[in-house]
Amino acid sequence: MKSFQSDGVRIAYDVIGEGDPILLIHGFASTANVNWRDTGWVSTLENAGRSVILIDNRGHGASEKLYDPKLYGAPIMADDAVALLDHLGLKKVDIMGYSMGARITAFITLNHAAYVHRSIFAGLGINMVHGVGDPEPIAKALEADSVDDVDDLGGRMFRAFAEQTKSDLKALAACMRSSRQKINLEQLSAVSTPVLVAVGSKDAIAGSGAELASLIPGAQVLDIVGRDHMRAVGDKVYKQGVIEFLES
């Protein structure tokens, strides 16, 4: 992947294909490749005539690893994404984020609306507003000597996933302690960007997609039937719904 500097932090990215650009922002403990290439999203969007922009969030993938929670946070990572668009000379793009990436996409939509044509919040519903629980058990699970030492079920799941993606566990622990800022209800009610909320029907982490969409004027809902948080991302219903939204 290529890289650039965002406020002194090295951020990895890639651009694939030609056509109208869409920026994809991955979830926590994932990478651009794991979240978007391995699941078939890049080829799906290329085949739909889109140029695909991938970013590895700070602390993830090929981007710089940081160990101070103050250097993370969804608004900061939103600023990284906007800095990438500036680096590429792009003024307005579609943006899709999954899970933590959906929260980042929301902060781009709220704080940098001029850059956003359409937004897709995937893998995160109303818990974008209410919160998704205490981050500390997950952070401690990431810092444990072994996954076998982790009793918390959520922490164990994220620790196993982080090991699968060969992530820097200490960097992820710092990110976890700072990345879950809640979205303000009043801000959502003022969003004028077209929004699609896509959530698995069995996703216990995300919360209701329909409930989140009801707070955003004109937002559409895509129910990814029968999928939980980890299995929704590559689902064909999700892909088809996104392509239809982008072409509408």
Q: What are the tens digits of pLDDT across the range 99-144?
A: 999 999 999 999 999 999 999 999 999 999 998 888 999 999 999 9
Q: What pLDDT, on a 0 to 100 scale, did the predictor assign at position 181?
A: 83
User: Measuring CA to CA, which residue among 71, 54, 52, 72 is closest to residue 62?
Assistant: 54
**Which of the four pLDDT bands, split at 50, 70 and 90, describes residue 198?**
very high
- Output the pLDDT for position 39: 98
pLDDT exceeds 90 at position 42: yes
Angle made by CA atoms 100, 146, 28, in degrees to the nearest 5: 5
pLDDT of residue 215: 97
Q: What is the pLDDT of residue 150?
A: 94
- Cβ-in-10-Å burial (0-12, 13-18, 19+) of 56 comes to buried
Q: What angle do the packed helices 153-164 and 169-176 form, to 10 degrees?
A: 130
Q: Which CATH code for domain 2-131+182-247?
A: 3.40.50.1820
More confident residue, 158 or 181: 158
Distance CA 109, CA 120 (A): 10
CA distances from 191 to 120, 123, 233 (A): 13, 19, 25
The pLDDT score that the predictor gives to residue 184 is 87
The pLDDT of residue 5: 98
| pLDDT tens digits, one per residue of 159-196 | 999 999 999 999 999 999 987 788 988 899 999 999 99
CA dist 52 → 81, 144, 147, 228 (Å): 14, 36, 35, 25
91 falls in which pLDDT band (50, 70, 90)?
Answer: very high
Q: What is the pLDDT of residue 132?
A: 85
What's the mean pLDDT when you consider all of the chain?
96
Q: What is the maximum span of the chain, computed from C-alpha positions, in angstroms?
A: 49
Q: What is the pLDDT of residue 241?
A: 98
Q: Looking at the DSSP assignment, which residues form a beta bridge with residue 23?
A: 53, 95
